[in-house]
Structure 1
Amino acid sequence: MSAPDFSHLNKSQSLYDYEPSLGAAIACAACCSAAVLFHMLLFVRSQAWCFWAFQAGILVEAVGFIVRAVSIAHIENEGAFMASYTFLLLGPSLMAVGCQTILIQIIWWATPLRCHRFRLLWCPIRFMNAISTGLGLAAFLVQLFGVALYYASFTTMEPIVDARKRGLAVLRVGAIFQLVILTVFAIVGMRFHIVSYGWIGRPVPLTRTSGATWYRLGRTISVASTLIIARTIFRLVEVFVSHDQPGYIVSNEWPFWAFDAIPMLVAVVLLAVNYPGLQMPTELLGAFWNQGKVQTKKKNIHSESMMTELEDV
């Protein structure tokens, strides 16, 4: 399902480069809708407002599959096809923002204060929450602008070639930008898992839970992020493919399911089974949290833990 080119079509032709499966689209729409409801229940129950972007992403993804089913049922409907492509393209971008936000929260939460150093974590942990959200939303907006510019060229009777090329170029830049951001945060996550292995047996700051809790959650976020990276690479290949000579990956439907739809469903299920809002302390779940206040509490708990260790000795 590559970026569509309507210039060579008449009203009797399909907008897809292959014969799409209506049954698969309906099944995936049903699964995504159920996942949205379940995640919404967990979202409200845990009040994990910091996870808003992921919740919004799976909602957009579900709408995309619903509209895809409508588009397949009405194969000549350009509006439904455009909407489906847009929603399915942009939904995982918001999911990526959610994963990045939670990853930074985990790193900040689980790392001892004395280890909050760039040389150790390979990131300015104090500012990473704002950086991750800002960059992720920027990638989302660039792709949205590219899609809007691309589709705008088809609103006239004769498609504007230059506008279409500009829109596709912006879309490519947005996809590359998102891939770079995801890769950087994947490296930060890998670095954290390596340096934090020795902290697993210690009490988690702000809670008294086992260190295995955040380590397991961190691995879940990393797996979900890896799936989003794989899906982004697939989409990047799509937007770079030529419409004059479409390759195998574009002219067949199964790559879309194997490298886009199913990986995103797996990521959604993983984060439903190990939901961040049920694992992390309430101090870190707000959409806007006072880092200074939380850090003070974290210092106090760390001091109490040190005193307990001295008394045991």
Structure 2
Amino acid sequence: MVSQCANREGGYELYAYSPSLPAAIIFIAIFGTSAVLHIWQAGKKRSWFMTPFIIGGLMETVGYVGRALSHHNTCSLTPYIIQTLLLLLGPALFAASIYMILGRIILLTDGEPYALIRRTWLTKIFVGGDVLCFLMQLAGGGMLASADGDPDKAKLGENLVVGGLFVQLAFFGFFILVAALFQMQGRHHLAGLPQSLSAWRRHLYVLYGTSLLILVRSVFRVVEYFQGEHGYLLSHEVFLYIFDASLMAAAMVAMNVVHPGDIALLLKGKSLEDGREGFLELDSRGMVEGHGVDGHSRHWR
């Protein structure tokens, strides 16, 4: 337990512990490396719908920089605000890109008849909900970060954050349901797709995985805020790294390994092949290769 900050009215503490410097540095490295790799992958594969995901990764990186700075001065308000806001809001931006990925999988597989929501509305509905929860958490996080011992302001901030997290949980739960129903109802159609389009399956499973990681993290945050500033979770730093940092890092790395930009490349190749027999595949250079009925190979970026 850190000593109370003498320069704060009532001796108000920003942390119930001294933030770990080694842990912060480790996750600065993980999130920073993954974010830079995502920038390179998005540029190479022209997958600009991953921009919110990248921004979320950069926010996570800077958020842990704030925690590293707090190790040396637990009473400094600026790094505390940085880490509070950015670590709270980063996953909401992950969600925005995840919602857009499902729409592209549906388009790639011509699976709109099997989707609970029309593809053109799917992204609008879920990203709209994501913006709402982002704004609620932003407002609540800002109040919490600047409460400085004011119990009324802190309580209002907590209520807004928890409300935003519940909105996020509701939309994510519905999103997973929509994705699962799409796969179940369209199973016969999806099973008949050419081998060249089989990538949809691994991208959808990564989508399930990253969505569940964000769900678990959001549940953790809800419980943390319900317990309050003196609660067990908020008073022990290890839980932040187990149920937030590690899960969000896993989500970022999973998207590095199975990058959604491959869907963008397949969609581009598929549009070029419309009206012609043949199939599409990604070659070792990440280009779309189409083999027409004449047996000749064609490549597109």
Asked if TM exceeds 0.5, the reply is yes
Q: Larger RCO: Structure 1 or Structure 2 (Cα < 8 Å, ≥ 6 residues apart)? A: 1
Q: In structure 1, what is the equivalent of residue 130 of structure 2?
A: 136
CA distance in 1, matches of 2:247, 2:84: 17
CA distance in 1, matches of 2:193, 2:115: 20
Q: In structure 2, what is the equivalent of residue 275 of structure 1?
A: 259
**CA drift at 1:193:** 2.5
Q: In structure 2, what is the equivalent of residue 239 of structure 1?
A: 225
After superposition, the Cα gap between the structure-2 partners of 1:279 and 1:94, relative to the gap in structure 1 and judged at 3 Å, is same
Q: In structure 1, what is the equivalent of residue 172 of structure 2?
A: 182
Are 1:230 and 2:229 an aligned pair?
no
Alignment gaps of 5+ in structure 1: 1-7, 286-293, 306-313
Q: In structure 2, what is the equivalent of residue 250 of structure 1?
A: 234
- Secondary structure in 2 aligned to 1:63? helix
After superposition, the Cα gap between the structure-2 partners of 1:70 and 1:19, relative to the gap in structure 1 and judged at 3 Å, is closer
**CA drift at 1:101:** 1.2
1:1-313 equivalences under 5 Å are: 10-11=6-7, 15-112=14-111, 116-117=112-113, 120-154=114-148, 159-203=149-193, 210-243=196-229, 245-247=230-232, 249-281=233-265, 300-301=274-275
CA distance in 1, matches of 2:69, 2:272: 51
- Secondary structure in 2 aligned to 1:80? helix
Q: In structure 2, what is the equivalent of residue 308 of structure 1?
A: none
Quote the sequence identity (%).
26
Whether the 8 Å CA contact 2:176–2:208 is kept in 1: the answer is: yes
**CA drift at 1:107:** 2.1
**Equivalent AA in structure 1 for residue 142 of structure 2:** A
Q: Deviations over 1:279-309 (max 9, x none)?
A: 3346579xxxxxxxx9xx59954x968xxxx
**Equivalent AA in structure 1 for residue 204 of structure 2:** G
TM-score by length of 1: 0.78
**CA drift at 1:16:** 1.9
Q: CA RMSD in A?
A: 2.7
**Equivalent AA in structure 2 for residue 271 of structure 1:** M
Across the two proteins, how many residue pairs are aligned to each other?
273
CA distance in 2, matches of 1:304, 1:44: 30
- Secondary structure in 2 aligned to 1:71? helix
